Amino acid sequence: MNVIAFYIAAAIAIVTTLLVITRKNAVQALLYLALSLISVAVVFFDLGAPFVAALEVIIYAGSIIVLFIFVVMMLNLGKRATLAEGRLLQPRMWIGPTIFAAILIGEVAYLLARGNATAAAAHLVSPKEVGMALYGPYLIGVELSSFLLMSALVGAYHLGWHKQPKPETEDVGREYSTRIDAGRDTVRAGSSRPAGAP
């Protein structure tokens, strides 16, 4: 395996992750996250797992991050939210989590140093092998993950659907509809903009 490529990709991953958690703007953070995921995919490729590298890029970076971006944009928070975020992100709030993180990293390092970690053989695990494993011994996992995905789908649909709010502007609408052709230009239920406003 290509050591240099590994270290470069690792460095990029760490840096971009750091940037993700310190950004004020949500969209910027998400873009950095995508970069981080792609660099992790590179690491995967370097480890000899091309299938998951591809999967990482397509599914993780491709659909999940995009879904995040859609939702963030749908929320339409605007500049005010970004400023508020900045107010909340004080340096002194970093102390505790940094300590935790440092302890965790220390523990992992300790574990690795203690264990006998030999260098891995540069053996490529082809997609074919993965497929054989999936539909062989791990078949049940596949079925279960299909359950999971189904339930997630239903749940997301149900949770995402929210009742249209009551029309506060009913009077205006009625007034409007008497003046204009009632059949065609009715005020759309749920919208807070009166019909015709830009």
Nearer to another protein, 29 or 187 (CB): 29
Query: Measured from the CB atom, is 59 or 172 closer to another protein?
Result: 59
* Amino acid in the structure at residue 23: R
CA angle 60, 62, 63 (to 5 degrees): 75
Question: Nearest distance from residue 94's CB to another protein, in Å?
Answer: 6
Element holding 77 (H helix, E strand): none
Using the minimum distance from each CB to another protein, give the nearer residue, 94 or 175: 94
List the structure tokens of 159: 């949770």
Nearer to another protein, 134 or 172 (CB): 134
Cβ-based nearer residue to another protein, 109 or 180: 109
Q: Is the Cα dihedral 98, 103, 106, 107 positive or negative?
A: negative
Which sign, positive or negative, has the C-alpha torsion 73, 75, 79, 84? negative
Q: What is the nearest approach in angstroms of another protein to the Cβ of residue 27? A: 10
47: Cβ–Cβ under 8 A, 6 or more apart, which residues?
Answer: 1, 120
Distance in angstroms (rounded) separating the CA atoms of residues 40 and 90: 29
Task: Tell me how many residues contact another protein (CB under 8 A).
Answer: 79
Site for another protein contains 172 (CB under 8 A): no
Query: Of 185, 160, 183, whose CA–CA distance to 172 is shortest?
Result: 185
**Binding residues for another protein restricted to 59-88, rule: CB under 8 A:** 59-60, 63-64, 67-68, 71-72, 74-75, 77, 81, 85, 88
User: By CB under 8 A, what part of segment 103-142 binds another protein?
Assistant: 103-105, 107-112, 120-121, 123, 125, 129-130, 132-134, 138, 141
CA distance 122 to 125: 9
* Nearest-approach distance from CB 191 to another protein, in angstroms: 15
Mark residues 8-47: x for contact with another protein by CB under 8 A, - for none: --x--xx--xx-xx----x--xx--x--xx--x--xx--x
How near is the Cβ of 93 to another protein at its closest, in Å?
Answer: 6
End-to-end Cα spacing for the chain: 59
